[in-house]
């Protein structure tokens, strides 16, 4: 043991370990048995959402004064990782609630926070983050949805696409153009839209390859009127709010990816210990053992990078976006590779739904796509590296 020489601050704290172990037990005992069915039926797991709410897991990053737990980003990621290890759809419930509450936490006034955060923290309400549009994906500043001021109100007009929880959320944080003439990054503002507002409707739900229990919606805002008091921050701050949100939400997706990878690794290792071919466990064959060792190394490397990124981002500073992007890039690629190799270790059994690894492989793919594609993450990193905004 060299514990005495480990610099303080590098290890997880006692609280973080207790949080991680508690969520792992909860996930193993209460969520894992549901995962295959959630994937098969494609139905949002309201029972899991209730379980997460009961254990304060939907208000992790929300400050305690607004009813949340108020833990740091690393603790949030530990929870997402442990739940995603058994069910990526369920892990995403935590991640999306964090993602979409972040603009209110980051840019909301005290009055706005008091109005919305307690219900989100308690899990009484769900919230969705609506930035992406049919023509504005990676090019987030190309949003076309308009918000036109009319007295004490705004009128919102437009379509949002690929909105996670869009069809079930009580609140939608919508990014819309308030000044089409402004320079590219000053055109957008952020608004909170309650789902019962007239003119709001869910146009369609996507049929997806993975995270099938998580509803992904196309949302239409047809002249939706909201009070000006629902705007988060000053007009024109929308793009900046979205980017600051991504600094905190991309690590959440990296955590989901690390969790999926860990889950697949554990299934593959257990299989390799018990599956016998040619008279011995397949794990004793070097080609299988090497696959497993590489899977473990990739998962652990992504995990440690993520934990480091969380502490850097929590501290703040100009390097946060780069760390968030690197963590998501490395973790998403690790998850895809590890889950693909897990299917390989299980062979034919890995390709059928008798084992969870084919589901994990399908779920892993989304971590390379949402919260910015891997290509966008590289763009963020390269810009930081080359010093160009």
Partner 1 sequence: MRIVVLTKPVPDPASGQDRLGPDHRVDRAAAPAVLNGNDEYALEAALRLVESHGGEITLLAMAPATAPETLRKGLAMGAHRAVLVTDPALAGSDIRSTVGVLAAALAGLEFDLVLAGIDTSDGFAGVVPAALATLLGLPLLSNAAAIEPDPAAGRVRVRRIIQGGYDVLEAPLPALVSCTQALGAPRYPSLKGIMAARSKEVAVRSLADLGPTRWPVGGAAAATAVVAVDPPPARGATRTIRASAVEAAREIADFLAARRLLP
- Considering beta carbons, is residue 56 or 319 the nearer one to partner 1? 56
Place of tokens 């992790």: 60
Contact between 120 and 52 (Cβ < 8 Å): no
Q: With binding defined as CB under 8 A, does residue 181 bind partner 1? A: no
In the complex with partner 1, the residue whose CB is nearer, 175 or 355, is: 355
Contacting residue, 11, 15, 65, 353, with partner 1 by CB under 8 A: 15
50 binds partner 1 (CB under 8 A): no
Q: Which is closer to partner 1, CB of 69 or CB of 143? A: 69
Cα gap 275→221, rounded to integer Å: 54
Spatial distance between the Cα atoms of 177 and 146, rounded to a whole number of angstroms? 5
**Tokens describing residue 53:** 């709410």
**Is residue 19 a contact residue for partner 1 (CB under 8 A)?**
yes
Q: Where does the chain have alpha helices with state H?
A: 14-26, 32-41, 46-54, 73-84, 88-107, 110-121, 238-274, 286-315, 320-346, 348-351, 357-366, 374-386
CB 71 to partner 1: min, Å? 7
389 is catalytic: no
Contacts with partner 1 in 343-372 (CB under 8 A)? 354
By the rule CB under 8 A, 229 interacts with partner 1: no
69 binds partner 1 per the rule CB under 8 A: yes
CA distance 65 to 78: 22
Regarding 273 and contact with partner 1 (CB under 8 A), the answer is: no
Q: Which is nearer to partner 1, 25 or 382 (CB)?
A: 25
Which token pair is 173?
Answer: 């944080």
- Nearest residue (CB) to partner 1, 68 versus 158: 68
Beta-strand pair 171-177/127-130: parallel
> Whole-number minimum distance, CB 30 to partner 1, in Å?
9
Output DSSP code: residue 2: -
CB of 53 to partner 1, least distance (A): 11
Of 32, 42, 55, 383, the residue at the interface with partner 1 (CB under 8 A) is: 55
How close are the terminal C-alpha atoms of the chain, in Å? 46
Among the listed residues 133, 235, 358, 371, the single catalytic one is: 371
From the list 16-24, 286-294, 299-307, 322-330, the region that binds partner 1 by CB under 8 A is: 16-24
The SS3 assignment for 199 reads: coil
Nearer to partner 1, 114 or 276 (CB): 276
DSSP SS3 for 366: helix
By C-alpha distance, which of 85, 16, 22, 32 is closest to 54?
A: 22
Name the minimum Å distance from CB 201 to partner 1.
35
Among 64, 205, 209, 293, binds partner 1 (CB under 8 A): 64
Contact 170, 127 (CB under 8 A): yes
Beta carbon nearer to partner 1, 29 or 294: 29
- Give the bridge partners for 156, in sequence order: 147, 224
How far is 275 from 130, CA to CA, in rounded Å?
Answer: 46
> What does the alpha-carbon distance between residue 232 and residue 265 come to, in Å, rounded to a whole number?
42
> Which of 13-21, 174-182, 253-261, 280-288 is the region at the interface with partner 1 (rule: CB under 8 A)?
13-21
**Which residues in 70-129 contact partner 1 (CB under 8 A)?**
70-71, 79
The residues annotated as belonging to the active site are: 371
Contact positions toward partner 1, by CB under 8 A?
14-15, 17-19, 21-22, 25-26, 54-57, 60, 64, 69-71, 79, 274, 354
């Amino acid at each position: 043991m060299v514990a005495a020489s480990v610099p303080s601050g590098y290890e997880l704290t006692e609280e973080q370990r207790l949080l991680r172990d508690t969520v792992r037990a909860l996930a193993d005992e209460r969520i894992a048995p549901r995962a295959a069915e959630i994937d098969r039926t494609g139905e949002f797991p309201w029972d899991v959402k209730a379980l997460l709410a009961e254990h304060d897991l939907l208000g992790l990053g929300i400050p305690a004064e607004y009813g949340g737990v108020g833990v740091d980003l690393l603790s949030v990621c530990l929870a997402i990782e442990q739940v995603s290890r058994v069910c990526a759809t369920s892990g995403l419930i935590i991640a999306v609630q964090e993602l979409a509450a972040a603009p209110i936490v980051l840019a909301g006034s005290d009055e706005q926070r008091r109005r919305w955060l307690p219900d989100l923290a308690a899990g009484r309400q769900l919230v969705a983050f609506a930035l992406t549009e049919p023509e504005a994906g990676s090019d987030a500043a190309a949003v076309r949805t308009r918000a036109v001021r009319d007295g004490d109100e705004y009128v919102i007009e437009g379509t949002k696409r690929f909105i996670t929880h869009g069809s079930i959320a009580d609140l939608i944080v919508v990014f819309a153009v308030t000044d089409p003439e402004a320079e590219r990054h000053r055109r957008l503002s952020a608004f909170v839209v309650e789902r019962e507002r007239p003119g709001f409707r869910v146009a369609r739900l996507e049929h997806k390859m993975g995270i099938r229990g998580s509803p992904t919606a196309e949302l239409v805002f047809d002249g939706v009127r909201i009070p000006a008091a629902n705007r988060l921050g000053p007009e024109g701050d929308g793009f900046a709010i979205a980017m600051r949100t991504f600094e905190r939400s991309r690590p959440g997706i990296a955590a989901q990816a690390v969790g999926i990878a860990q889950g697949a690794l554990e299934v593959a290792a257990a299989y390799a210990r018990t599956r016998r071919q040619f008279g011995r466990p397949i794990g004793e064959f070097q080609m299988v053992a090497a696959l497993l060792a590489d899977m473990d190394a990739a998962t652990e490397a992504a995990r440690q990078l993520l934990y480091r990124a969380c502490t850097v981002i929590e501290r703040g500073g100009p390097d946060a976006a780069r760390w968030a992007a690197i963590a998501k890039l490395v973790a998403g690629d690790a998850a895809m590779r590890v889950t693909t190799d897990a299917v390989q270790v299980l062979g034919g059994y890995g390709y059928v739904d008798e084992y969870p690894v084919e589901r994990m492989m399908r779920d892993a793919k989304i971590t390379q796509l949402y919260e910015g594609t891997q290509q966008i993450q590289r763009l963020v990193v390269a810009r930081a590296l080359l010093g160009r905004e």
